[in-house]
């Protein structure tokens, strides 16, 4: 790998140490892989991508699956399937970094499907980052499909703060009884960037629950769109919270949809869009910060990136 590769990896994952299993993909091809006694990674036979198998009762192991793109004009599509065994408990760290110094668009579309067996627990961390001096766009369109069996839990953290020109992020989930899905999303857009988020979660089993928290900042001429659909088909709980800060000439759209098909489905949607409060700026400026510095502090605190 080259210096640029390591820089990209450092933005989306800890490239200095990979604990456990890992698979590194560069410019549409796998370049490094490691498996462990409890975690196996194999290449798909019928499509581009990998299959990750975690044995039942595996505890506190890590899987890293970063993707980097340095080739301008490349459109990379990959299908990764995760099979998490009964009562396993693992951390999966993914993400994509794109470096584009030229005039052709570079694009990565990652389709990740999670199949959790009974009692399994997964923490899934996904970071997206773009950089480069060229006019070519950096495009990321991740799709995440989640299938939870009885008693399983998945916690997802998604972060996109810099350099992505266009993204459509789609997350779909089907939850059985006594399952839990927690999603935390943080997005910042600037210039003429576009970001769209789609959540479509079906709570099919008794006592299934989901909590979705989206924090976003839209600045300059950028556009963001947040769509969420929570369907309650049993006694269940769903809570969606979307908060956005808007600046300059940016545009933010929030489209909530909640569907209760059971009298005991408890579904809540909250959305708030607004500018930075003036009293916050004044308070920080009295401490010696100028307006831009004060705005940066507020935004970093809002997104939890300070």
Count Cβ neighbours within 10 Å for each residue of 48-57 and write b for 16 or more, e otherwise. Answer: bbbbbbbbee
Q: Which residues contact 259 (CB under 8 A, 6 or more apart)?
A: 229, 230, 231, 232, 267
11 or 165, which is more confident: 165
- Tens-digit pLDDT profile for residues 187-211: 999 999 999 999 999 999 999 999 9
Model confidence at 278, pLDDT cuts 50, 70, 90, reads confident
Q: Which candidate, 124, 125, 117, 168, places its Cα nearest to that of 147?
A: 117
* Residues linked to residue 272 through DSSP beta bridges, in sequence order: 243
The answer, yes or no, to whether residue 306 has pLDDT greater than 60, is no
Model confidence at 16, pLDDT cuts 50, 70, 90, reads low
Pairing of strands 29-34, 21-26: antiparallel
Q: Are 188 and 162 in contact (CB under 8 A)?
A: yes
Q: Which burial class, exposed, middle or buried, applies to 59 when counting CB atoms under 10 A from its CB (0-12, 13-18, 19+)?
A: exposed
Give the global pTM: 0.93
* Residues linked to residue 238 through DSSP beta bridges, in sequence order: 210, 267
- Tens-digit pLDDT profile for residues 20-79: 899 999 999 999 999 999 999 999 988 899 999 999 999 999 999 999 999 999 999 999
Distance CA 155, CA 33 (A): 25
Residue 38: DSSP 8-state: S
Distance CA 197, CA 149 (A): 25
Mean pLDDT taken over the chain: 93
> Per-residue pLDDT averaged across 256-264, rounded?
96
- Tens-digit pLDDT profile for residues 155-178: 999 999 789 999 999 999 999 999
Distance CA 129, CA 140 (A): 9
Q: Looking at residue 15, what is its pLDDT?
A: 58
Instruction: Give percent above pLDDT 90 in the chain.
Output: 79
Q: Which burial class, exposed, middle or buried, applies to 8 when counting CB atoms under 10 A from its CB (0-12, 13-18, 19+)?
A: buried
Of 14-18, 162-166, 273-277, 294-298, which gets the smallest average pLDDT? 14-18
Q: Looking at residue 140, what is its pLDDT?
A: 96
Beta-carbon-side half-sphere exposure of residue 83 (alpha carbons within 13 Å): 11
Alpha helices in 86-222 (DSSP H): none
Residue 276: DSSP 8-state: P
The answer, yes or no, to whether residue 283 has pLDDT greater than 90, is no
Model confidence at 282, pLDDT cuts 50, 70, 90, reads confident
């Amino acid at each position: 790998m080259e210096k640029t590769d390591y820089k990209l990896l450092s933005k989306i994952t800890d490239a200095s140490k990979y604990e456990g299993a890992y698979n590194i993909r560069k410019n549409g091809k796998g370049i490094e892989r490691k498996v462990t006694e409890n975690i196996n990674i194999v290449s798909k036979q019928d499509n581009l991508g990998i299959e990750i198998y975690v044995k039942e009762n595996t505890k506190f192991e890590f899987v890293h699956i970063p993707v980097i793109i340095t080739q301008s004009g490349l459109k990379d599509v990959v299908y990764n399937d995760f099979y998490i065994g009964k009562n396993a408990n693992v951390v999966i760290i993914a993400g994509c970094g794109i470096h584009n110094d030229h005039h052709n668009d570079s694009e990565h579309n990652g389709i990740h499907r999670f199949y959790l067996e009974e009692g399994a627990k997964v923490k899934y961390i996904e970071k997206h980052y773009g950089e480069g001096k060229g006019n070519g766009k950096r495009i990321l369109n991740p799709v995440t499909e989640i299938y939870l069996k009885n008693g399983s839990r998945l916690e997802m953290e998604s972060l996109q703060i810099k350099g992505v020109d266009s993204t459509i992020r789609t997350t779909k989930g089907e939850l059985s009884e006594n399952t839990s899905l927690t999603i935390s999303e943080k997005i910042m857009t600037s210039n003429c960037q576009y970001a769209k988020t789609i959540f479509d979660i079906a709570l099919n089993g008794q006592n299934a629950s989901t909590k979705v928290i989206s924090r976003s900042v839209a600045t300059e001429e950028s556009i963001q769109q947040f769509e969420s659909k929570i369907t309650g088909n049993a006694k269940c709980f769903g809570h969606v919270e979307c908060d956005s800060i808007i600046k300059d000439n940016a545009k933010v759209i929030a489209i909530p949809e909640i569907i209760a098909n059971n009298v005991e489905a408890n579904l809540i949607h909250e959305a708030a869009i607004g500018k930075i409060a003036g009293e916050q700026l004044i308070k920080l400026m009295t401490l010696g910060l100028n307006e831009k510095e004060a705005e940066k502090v507020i935004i970093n605190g809002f997104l939890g990136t300070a």
